[in-house]
Every structure is written in structure tokens, then in C-alpha cells.
Structure 1
Amino acid sequence: MAALPLARSFASSSSSSLLFSNLASSPSTSLSFLATSSLSLSASTNYSYASPLLPSPRRVSSLCSTSSSSSGRLVVSAAEKKKVLIVNTNSGGHAIIGFYFAKELLSKGHSVTILTVGDEASDKMKKPPFSRFSEIVSAGGKTVWGDPAEVAKVVGGESFDVVLDNNGKDLDTVRPVIDWAKSSGVKQFLFISSAGIYKPTEEPPHLEGEVVKASAGHVGVEQYLAEVYESWAVFRPQYMIGSGNNKDCEEWFFDRIVRDRPVPIPGSGMQLTNIAHARDLSSMLTLVVENSSAASGNIFNCVSDRAVTLDGMARLCAQAAGKSVNIVHYDPESIGIDSKKAFPFRNMHFYAEPRAAKDILGWKGTTNLPEDLKERYEEYVKIGRDKKPMEFALDDKILESLKVPVAA
């Protein structure tokens, strides 16, 4: 069966400048504005690992087959209960993935142990999501701390069906976990990589199988895993939100909006990015655990199926807070500012699409930024961050250079 061409469409609504959606369409479909989005590719489409040095075509070929119904959709059988080990990072935006994944698995009746890097008594463990690990324990899960390089010792010789590494960013860090898992009979290995490894493209969004940066540490892990493991899957997330996140995303915007400060955004503000709720990441991961045969040997963009502009993110955050927003655009180079330090997102189009998860797993995203941001703002106020004293040195430098006044 010939692969379907991958065309693009953008959602049009009263807030079309804020949220964009992508879908697969027929060969005759041209770039158009639509009110809804959908994706339905053949269930035999393969999104398996390709060399990062060779660009893959944007039309994915039909190379593998899965059990499907007469309509061509994946047939999901009842899943067996499995023992899962999550090796979780102790900091950064990815920490929330392990937390949500553990809770999702436990709600489905699976057994979960979450191994967090470091020491349980460290200051890092006093912050979310670690401060909420009691929720995992109360749901029947187990929490341990230690060095992933000594994973056998940390888990006390316990056996598992599945291991997820949500910690390592390079092969030196992840190889000990992969080697231990293989030697101890773990059937399925999952790895949290990053959509940041894709090479910039003139034709976004990033799709599974496209060329990546060979120098990126995650790529070495992906290659090694594909070489030594029979049943594996790789996930490439982008920015994420959700209760328990300990890396500023929406908070960066709230900090300025609630204090009636201008929100400085580099460039035009029309750059597209992708923000997914952590519950969507965990639901995708859980589907892979419960459908290991279909998922084996595949890469999944672990992202929402909608994009948002940088200006749109500012406006949606203001909407969630019930406030107005004053957006100011600037050129980082002309001001002498490093936008990586002054702004929480990349200053470029940076978004991917979860086509493999939709096609292979029948996954559906639930991220709804306007609603999800309302929840996040309520939590923001609840912890008192809206009243916390803050300094905005880089903002002030930007605003001063633009001669934009700031209220005292």
C-alpha cells in the first residue's frame, strides 16, 4: 500500500493566531485553514530508527504490519499487567514525566518502582514533583533513590518486564542501565530522548524518522538501544506543563503578567512551538507498555498535536490569569542579549507532530492550553508565587534598550 503524502493544515478559529493544528490529507489538499484536525494513516506505517546522518523522506514507507481491523486501525488487545522500573531524573523539565507515568501505570493495575537519581534527603527532593511521591506510594508504587550505574544494587535484584530511562542524555549514562536490563531479562526498554535533536527544517513540523543531529548525546543512546535490544521504543518530548512541574514554562509568563510588566518576546512572536500536558506524555508511554509488539522498534514524538505561537502563549497565559498583556518584541543580537537566558523557549520555529503515536497506537492527545493554563494559574496563586518578590534584570536591560517604560 502506498504511503499517504503528508500535507499540512492550520486550524482557523477566533484564536487562529494562537493555536495551530496539523493533519494528514489527500494528495490534492493544498495549504488551507480548517476548524478541526485529524490524522489517519495506514496502520502498517513504520516509524523505526534511521541513521541520523541520512535524511529520511517526509513520506513514510509501509514496511511493517500490525494487527488491524477492517477499517485499517490498530486493534488493541487486553494488556497483561507488567512490572515497570522508571529511572527518573532528579531535576529539570523531564522529572515530571516519570511522576505522571508512574501514576498512570498504577491506575491501570501495573506494578511500578521509580528509581530517582541521587539521595532522598537532598534539597532537590523537597521540590515538586518529588515532594509528591507519596501519591505514588499511596497508589501502591515503590520509590527508591540511588545511582543508575548501580541499578542492580539499588533495586535489590528485583526483576522487571519493562524499564524506562527518563534520566540519561548520553550513552555513558544510559548504557549501564541498558546493559543491566538486557542481562537481567527485561523484555522491553523505553528511552526518553528529546525533540531537540532534530536538525532545523525549512518545512516544519518535525516528523519521526527525519534527520537528527549526529553530535547530540541522545542520538548515541538511540543508536545503541536499536543495536542491542529487540523490543525498544524511543520518545522525543518538547516543552511540557502540568501540576508538579519544576521547570518554568507558563510561570515565566505569569510572573510578568500578574505584575503588570511588559512581556519581552524575541523575534516576531509568530514562531511556533509545542507544549504538551504531562498526562498526554504518560498516556502515550502507557500505550507502548500495553502494546509492546506494535510499538517495538519505533520512535514517537511525545508531544501535543497542536502548536502555539510565542505571542499566543503570552496571550493564553494572560487569559488564564484574567489580565491584559503588553507584548514587546526585540532582536536579541542587536541588544546583546542571549535569548536562551532571557526567554524560556527557543527563538525559532520548534515543534513536532505525534504522527507515529496516532498511527501505530491510536493515541489521542488531550492537551487544551486555554483550560490547562487556568489550572496552572490557580496553582501558581495557591503557592503564593504571584506575591513573591522578583527581580527582572535581563528584562529591564531589554526594555531600557527599547525605551519601554516599566511601572515602579
Structure 2
Amino acid sequence: MRILVMGGTEFVGSSLVKYLLNQNYTVDIFTRGIRPLKYSGVSNHYKGDRRIIRDLQKNIMDVKYDYVFDISAYKLIDVQNLLEVLNIKNLKKYIFCSSGSVYKPSTNFITEDFSKGYNEYWGDYGLDKLQIENYLFDLFKNNKLPIVIFRPTYIYGEENNLYRESYIFDRLKYNKDIPIPNSTSKVQFIHINDLVKIFENAMYNKNVIGQAYNITYPDTIKWDELMSTAMKITNRYVNIKKIDSLLNIKSRQYFPFRDCTYLLDINKSICHRLYKPKISLIEGLTRSYKWYCEIQPKLKDDKMNKIEEVLQL
């Protein structure tokens, strides 16, 4: 069995590769080669720009894979180039990591057949993922390409390179108050360890070809609950200031998440016998905090440039 992972140096890609290697799979990866690997054991580390088709041709032309995990596709050309070069003769599944951002906004739980299209909170990111999905579904319908699509909610956990839970831990560490939106938004999270197990499970699940699945831990979380959970596990307590909607300051200018309800129904994945996430928020944040204390990551989010300003309001 031979596996190709598109990606492998950032959060989701590297976590998936390390998990697969620990399960004794034979894994090749394709990355831009900009960041060094923080692990060893891959059979081949191909380097290039997937948007330059000759970079793909010189690396994976004529290589046959049983499974492909596409973690690094954000534009349609990413997938078009890859599938033009990829030898799919032995391909059992092409597993694409999409996003719940492909759905139109809703304050209710969203099933996989819910309306898709422009979402003001996610913008072009969601539209680009949806364009890739539509392309893959067409290939499944017309060419029998064995695709599987996953739409996760917020992914968190050890090695997260986005300044999300580390931002909260930083504020707590330095005893700084935390501004949050004064809203009724509810969201869900999926821990990285659950996500990679779902990816692996899809390799062996006969129900999943040609399907898309919502992926998340089912608990719903409000912003103040997220903060209280973080304070509980760190045993550090600061003031949480709720910020009313302001015309001149958007929530992403002081908060690491989009202030909107983001709830996905996972009954389809359960019905199709995919691995069910087991890591609760308190357990997942505990793991994240342990990693944070050991690694002391230095992260930032340039969008959050109004934190101190809103705290003075």
C-alpha cells in the first residue's frame, strides 16, 4: 500500500503524515520545500509548486498510489494540475480536505445537503473550496474517480500554526484581559487527533466513495464557554470583556475566530460508520496547553490589530 499526502509541513498535513507513519504506512509527501520537516520516515519528500504542472510531472509522473490525501489544495488549479499528472490506475480513494465554509450561513445545524455558496464570514476561501468540490463530484460522476470529501469545523490541537488557542494561552500567561464578541454565536471544534483517525478510517470504509461528510466533535460551544474552559485547565483567570458590535471594528480585528454560528450535523458520518470523534474540548485544550507549555510557540495574527483598543472602550 502506497500513500501520497499533498502537504506535510503545516498543522493538518504534518499531523496526518506523522500519524500514518506511526501506523507503519508507506508515505510520500509533496510540499513546496520551504519549511523543514520536523519528523522523519517518509519514503519520498517531493518538493515543488503544485500550481506549476512541470513540478508535479518531474516528481510523481507515473507513480502509482493506492490513496491520496489532498490537504494543501485551496484553488481549483491545485487539483486540476494534480489529477492531470497523477496515475490513478491503482487509486482506491482520493481524499480531499474541504471545509464547512462551503455552506451558506445558518444559525441551525447544517447537513451535507444544505445550500452551498457565498458565505460572508468566509468569503473566497469557502467559494474556492466549493469549486474544488464541484469539480471532484463531476469527476466521480463522469469518470468514476473514487473521491471522498471531508468538511471539518474549526480544527485545533497540538502544532496548530494558526494563532487561535495559543492566543488565548498567551493572554492568560501574561495576565491580559480577553475581549470576545458579545453575541449568541455557537461553534464546534474537532481535535487534530480525531481528524487524522477519520482520514485513516476513510481508507477502509466502503460507504464513503463519492460522498462528502461533515466532521466535528458534536458539542456546541459559546465564546465565553471557550474562555472559561481555557482558564479552568490553565488555572489562570483574567477578565473577559464582551464587545458589542461596532461599525468601525470587526470582530476578527480583536478575536481569532469568525463571529458566526458554525454548527455541522454529523449523523451521516455516524450512519456510514466513520470514526466518531472522541476528544472533548476540555481534553483537547488540555493537550494543546501541554504542547504550548513545552514548545512555547511564537505565533501572531496580523488581522488582530485592535485588541487593546477595544479593551479601552
Where on the TM-score scale, by shorter chain, does this alignment land: which range? Answer: 0.7 to 0.9
Q: Following the alignment from structure 2 to structure 1, what is the Cα–Cα distance between the partners of residues 88 and 27?
A: 20
Instruction: Determine if contact 1:133/1:143 at 8 Å carries over to the other structure.
Output: no
Q: Which residue of 2 aligns with 1:84?
A: 3
Among 180, 193, 212, which residue is 2:98 paired with?
193
What SS does the aligned partner of 1:248 have? Answer: coil
Q: Following the alignment from structure 2 to structure 1, what is the Cα–Cα distance between the partners of residues 305 and 128?
A: 33
Among 208, 214, 220, which residue is 1:307 paired with?
220
Among 177, 186, 192, which residue is 1:262 paired with?
177
Instruction: Determine if contact 2:68/2:94 at 8 Å carries over to the other structure.
Output: yes
Among 324, 327, 331, which residue is 2:244 paired with?
331
Q: Following the alignment from structure 2 to structure 1, what is the Cα–Cα distance between the partners of residues 91 and 305?
A: 50
Among 357, 369, 373, which residue is 2:269 paired with?
357
Q: Following the alignment from structure 2 to structure 1, what is the Cα–Cα distance between the partners of residues 20 and 72?
A: 18
Q: Which residue of 2 aligns with 1:147?
A: 49
| Structure 1: runs of 5+ lacking an equivalent | 1-81, 402-408
CA apart distance, 1:133: 2.7
Among 292, 295, 302, which residue is 1:383 paired with?
295
AA paired with 2:5?
I
Q: Which residue of 2 aligns with 1:177?
A: 82
Q: Which residue of 1 aligns with 2:133?
A: 222
Q: Following the alignment from structure 1 to structure 2, what is the Cα–Cα distance between the partners of residues 358 and 143?
A: 35
Instruction: Determine if contact 1:304/1:353 at 8 Å carries over to the other structure.
Output: no
AA paired with 1:235?
F
Among 235, 244, 259, which residue is 2:150 paired with?
235
Q: Which residue of 1 aligns with 2:121?
A: none
Q: Following the alignment from structure 1 to structure 2, what is the Cα–Cα distance between the partners of residues 297 and 220?
A: 16
Q: Which residue of 1 aligns with 2:62?
A: 157
Instruction: Determine if contact 2:217/2:280 at 8 Å carries over to the other structure.
Output: no
What SS does the aligned partner of 1:374 have? Answer: helix
Q: Which residue of 2 aligns with 1:244?
A: 159
Q: Following the alignment from structure 2 to structure 1, what is the Cα–Cα distance between the partners of residues 197 and 167?
A: 27
AA paired with 1:225?
L
AA paired with 2:47?
W
TM-score, length-scaled by structure 2: 0.86
1:396 aligns with 2:298: no
CA apart distance, 1:141: 4.6
What SS does the aligned partner of 1:112 have? Answer: strand
AA paired with 1:199?
K
Describe the shift of the 1:384–1:168 C-alpha distance in structure 2 as closer, same or farther (beyond 3 A): closer
Among 220, 225, 231, which residue is 1:318 paired with?
231
Q: Following the alignment from structure 2 to structure 1, what is the Cα–Cα distance between the partners of residues 165 and 224?
A: 12
Identity of aligned residues (%): 23
CA apart distance, 1:398: 0.3
Q: Which residue of 2 aligns with 1:276?
A: 190
Q: Residue deviations 1:8-39, cap 9 Å, x none?
A: xxxxxxxxxxxxxxxxxxxxxxxxxxxxxxxx
Describe the shift of the 1:206–1:89 C-alpha distance in structure 2 as closer, same or farther (beyond 3 A): farther
In the TM superposition, what are the counterparts of 1:8-19 in structure 2 within 5 Å? none
In the TM superposition, what are the counterparts of 1:68-147 in structure 2 within 5 Å? 82-88=1-7, 95-116=10-31, 118-119=32-33, 122=34, 125=35, 130=37, 132-134=38-40, 137=41, 141-147=43-49
Root-mean-square deviation (Å): 2.4
CA apart distance, 1:393: 5.3
Instruction: Determine if contact 2:62/2:87 at 8 Å carries over to the other structure.
Output: no
Q: Following the alignment from structure 2 to structure 1, what is the Cα–Cα distance between the partners of residues 282 and 171?
A: 18
CA apart distance, 1:362: 4.0
| Structure 2: runs of 5+ lacking an equivalent | 119-123
AA paired with 1:205?
F
